[in-house]
Amino acid sequence: MHNPQMQHDDQRVAVFIDVQNMYHSARNLYSARVSFREVVRAAVAGRHLIRSFAYVVRTKTGEEKPFFEALEKEGIEMRVKDLQEFYGGAKKADWDVGMAIDAVRTADIVDVIVIVSGDGDFLPLLDYLKGRGRRVEVIAFGRSASQRMKEAADDFLDLEEEPKRFLIRSRRLGGRTASGDRTAVQESS
């Protein structure tokens, strides 16, 4: 389903990474972490990167700080939200609306929007951006991505086609939060 023939060197690209979605997909499917460096490289594919954003969650422990620093070192802009904890133990840190707003705001200065998420909640965003004449590409794990997202995208890159490129095997993964994926960028050097 990946069709790089519609990609041109002169295209301006913005990348939007749903870190929670990618973290949980990699963990559940492969017991591994995502190399965000390689994901951004694949998203840009020789074109002009205008901006790349990672939507992350900060916990009270601060254990994700090295991961945040690694993202910044790669030139990935972070949007940070504190993890909300509710009575009864429920936790929430949803970035869908913030990510969608940033993509809409950025659409005027780019030709291509790359959504790094398989979350079907972004389907209305894809439809809107395509209606504005933007090429919309999706990068995600095929088995956990919304089928409708895969079909609606102008291009879909399945990370499962090259797991050695996009995944970092972890000796110890259990018990970490998505933001605790602290060395995924550094280890892919």
Query: What domains are defined for the chain?
Result: 13-188 (3.40.50.1010)
pLDDT at 5: 65
Mean pLDDT of 130-137: 97
Distance of CA 69 to the CA centre of its chain: 17
- Using pLDDT thresholds of 50, 70 and 90, give the confidence band for residue 65: confident
pLDDT at 184: 44
Q: Model's pTM, two decimal places?
A: 0.84
Q: How far apart are CA 63 and CA 162, in angstroms?
A: 29
Note whether 57 and 20 are within 8 A (CB).
Answer: yes
Residue type for 100, please? Answer: A
Note whether 184 and 168 are within 8 A (CB).
Answer: yes
Residue 50 contacts by C-beta under 8 Å, 6 or more apart in sequence?
Answer: 12, 13, 14, 106, 109, 110
Q: What is the pLDDT of residues 5-34, one digit of tens each?
A: 678 889 999 999 999 899 889 999 999 999
Residue 95 contacts by C-beta under 8 Å, 6 or more apart in sequence?
Answer: 18, 20, 55, 57, 79, 81
Q: What is the pLDDT of residues 166-183, one digit of tens each?
A: 999 865 544 443 434 434
Q: How far apart are CA 10 and CA 19, in angstroms?
A: 27
